[in-house]
Amino acid sequence: MKLYYSPGVCSLAPHIALREAGLAFELDKVDTGKKLTESGRDYLAINPHGYVPALEIEPGFILTEGPAIMQYIADKAPESGLVPIAGSKERYRLQSWLNYITSEIHKGFSPLFKPGMPAEAKTMFKAQIAEHFDYLERHLSRHAYLLESGFSIADAYLFVVAGWSGFVGIELKKWPALVAFRERVQDRASVREAMRAEGLLK
């Protein structure tokens, strides 16, 4: 398998999942501006949307969209415990968290990275993110991870997107349980390995 990624963006979550799962994989860094991979390929021929992540599972089979990629990875290594078993109530709770993170939090950050976005609009999006962080704070003040069963791919995803806060002027110290959650996740060997591989940690 080959993961197409850019350092520190949402592709870090499936990168963490691959290392947690113990699966063999290669990395190919993508210049999302030029739409070229580090290996010299036209990235639009791999993923017509032009964004990361994409997972090349085998020639002709490329999966896009982070939540789908992470579920595929976790299902390839069921012993990892990264997802509850298919059909269980906990599996649907996991999917609920993945959808919440991708639609409410991940997409809420996107406008904040656009240089032409008016300040008033950015203030509105920050307020929406703060409301979501309030909800997460309540949950994480009572639970170490998003699921009762422990660390999952949803936690990897939340770790990544919440980490963008400092880049857009959102101070996470307002949410101490969320800060503690991020510290717990970053203490995992797989997370540190993925971050080092992407040049995010020394």
pLDDT digits (tens, 9 = 90+) for 36-78: 999 999 999 999 999 999 999 999 899 999 999 999 999 999 9
- Does one domain contain both 182 and 136? yes
Output the pLDDT for position 35: 97
CA-to-CA distance for 63 and 58, rounded, in angstroms? 10
- Does one domain contain both 44 and 99? no
- Does one domain contain both 90 and 119? yes
And the tokens for 167? Answer: 């880049």
Classify residue 40: in a domain, yes or no: yes
- Does one domain contain both 40 and 98? no
Classify residue 53: in a domain, yes or no: yes
pLDDT digits (tens, 9 = 90+) for 168-199: 999 999 999 999 999 999 999 999 999 999 99
User: Domain containing 60: what range?
Assistant: 2-79+190-197
Output the pLDDT for position 62: 98
Q: How many domains does the chain have?
A: 2
CA-to-CA distance for 180 and 199, rounded, in angstroms? 23
Output the pLDDT for position 125: 96
Q: Are strands 2-5 and 54-58 parallel, antiparallel or unpaired?
A: antiparallel
Length of the chain in residues, anyone? 202
- Does one domain contain both 148 and 126? yes
Average pLDDT over residues 86-100: 97
Q: Is 73 exposed, middle or buried (0-12, 13-18, 19+ CB in 10 A)?
A: buried
> The pTM is what?
0.97
> Residue 110: how many CB atoms within 10 A of its CB?
11
| Half-sphere exposure at residue 189, Cβ-oriented, CA atoms within 13 angstroms | 4
Q: How confident is the model at residue 202 (pLDDT cuts 50, 70, 90)?
A: confident
> Residue 166: how many CB atoms within 10 A of its CB?
10
CA-to-CA distance for 28 and 38, rounded, in angstroms? 6
pLDDT digits (tens, 9 = 90+) for 109-142: 999 999 899 999 999 999 999 999 999 999 999 9
- Does one domain contain both 67 and 139? no
And the tokens for 122? Answer: 């950015």
Output the pLDDT for position 79: 96
Classify residue 67: in a domain, yes or no: yes
**Domain CATH code at residue 145:** 1.20.1050.10
Classify residue 202: in a domain, yes or no: no
Strand, helix or coil for residue 57 = strand
